[in-house]
Amino acid sequence: MQTKDNPRAPYIQSLDRGLEILQLVGRSKRSISIAELADLLGIDRSSAFRFAVTLRRRGFLSCQPGKKDFLLGPSMWALAREYDWSKLLVDIAHPDLSLLATQINETAHLAVREGKSVLFIDSAHASRVIAAVGRTGELHPLHCTAHGKAILADADEGELRALLGLSPLRKYTKNTITTIGALAENCAAIQEMGYAIDDSEHAEDLRCIAAPIRFNNHVIGSIGISAPVSRLPDSLYSEYGEKVCVIANKIGGLLRNSE
């Protein structure tokens, strides 16, 4: 009943394989055939077939009309939509959010993407209660906030255009990035550094530093801090950026274990 390596882990092989299929199909943008599944899992075609049938019966996989290969199905969608995901992330991340706020002695925020915006789902305030911006529940633009750019970090220019391209990027301040090209460059830099900076790009006299929270190599949210320019000079970028990254990675790790 268990794998070779750990005789003490009582897990169910066929369920595990089914879940692996879901993840494989979910990650590849294109649809996957039975034969490919069999190859990827190293199992027989007939087995792959039976797995696929089972997953489709429950609506976790579906086929495009007329085709035989598989995409994620509506059950996945229905479950994920109904669920209060923010709650999960908030539950797991809140202690570290507070930690970050006290470490740096500024306001810290937790955010996720919602459509074409950033949604702030939690915050923690340091004793210094000028209690700034970005209250929980607010929506802000993606292209000119540290959280937004952190969430976009892994997107290439094409994906950015698909997501934001319909309307031109609105200019909020003189620092706002207004072209997709420039935003793509910025994202590349964020990937390199690990954190995103908003230097008064959304509101005057407000700087933020945020880092993407990753799970299974996908960005699922961001965490960061905000402060007026006077308290967040350039010279502190790398120190604070490091701290934010560490916390973001820690939260990613907690999601993995999530126990």
Partner DNA sequence: TCGAAATGTTGCGCAGTGCGCAATTTTTGT
Partner DNA sequence: ACAAAAATTGCGCACTGCGCAACATTTCGA
Interface with a copy of itself (CB under 8 A): 1, 9-20, 22-23, 26-27, 29, 49-51, 53-60, 62-65, 71-85, 88, 91-92, 113-117, 119, 137, 139, 166, 215-216, 218, 220, 254-256, 258-259
Which residues on neighbouring strands pair with residue 145, listed in sequence order?
none
Q: Pick what 114 binds: DNA, a copy of itself, none; C-beta below 5 to 8 Å, kind-dependent.
A: a copy of itself
Residue the block writes with tokens 């005789």: 7
Nearest Cα neighbor of 71 from 20, 21, 16, 18 is 21
Report 174-193 residues binding DNA (CB under 7 A): none
- Taking phi first (over 0 means left), then psi (-120 to 50 degrees means alpha), and beta for anything else, what does residue 134 get? left
Sign of CA dihedral 108, 113, 114, 117: positive
57 touching DNA, by CB under 7 A? no
Nearer to a copy of itself, 136 or 176 (CB): 136
Q: Pick what 238 binds: a copy of itself, DNA, none; C-beta below 5 to 8 Å, kind-dependent.
A: none
71 touching DNA, by CB under 7 A? no
Provide the minimum distance between the beta carbon of 65 and DNA in the complex, in angstroms, as a whole number.
Answer: 12
Provide the minimum distance between the beta carbon of 38 and a copy of itself in the complex, in angstroms, as a whole number.
Answer: 14
DSSP string, 211-226: EEEEETTEEEEEEEEE
Q: What is the DSSP pairing of strand 139-141 with strand 196-199? A: unpaired
Nearer to DNA, 14 or 102 (CB): 14
Provide the minimum distance between the beta carbon of 191 and a copy of itself in the complex, in angstroms, as a whole number.
Answer: 17
Neighbour count for residue 17 (Cβ, 10 Å): 16
Provide the minimum distance between the beta carbon of 201 and DNA in the complex, in angstroms, as a whole number.
Answer: 46
Provide the minimum distance between the beta carbon of 87 and a copy of itself in the complex, in angstroms, as a whole number.
Answer: 8
Residue the block writes with tokens 């087995």: 47
Q: Which residues contribute to the site for DNA (CB under 7 A)?
A: 1, 8, 10, 12-15, 17, 33-35, 42-47, 49-52, 67-69
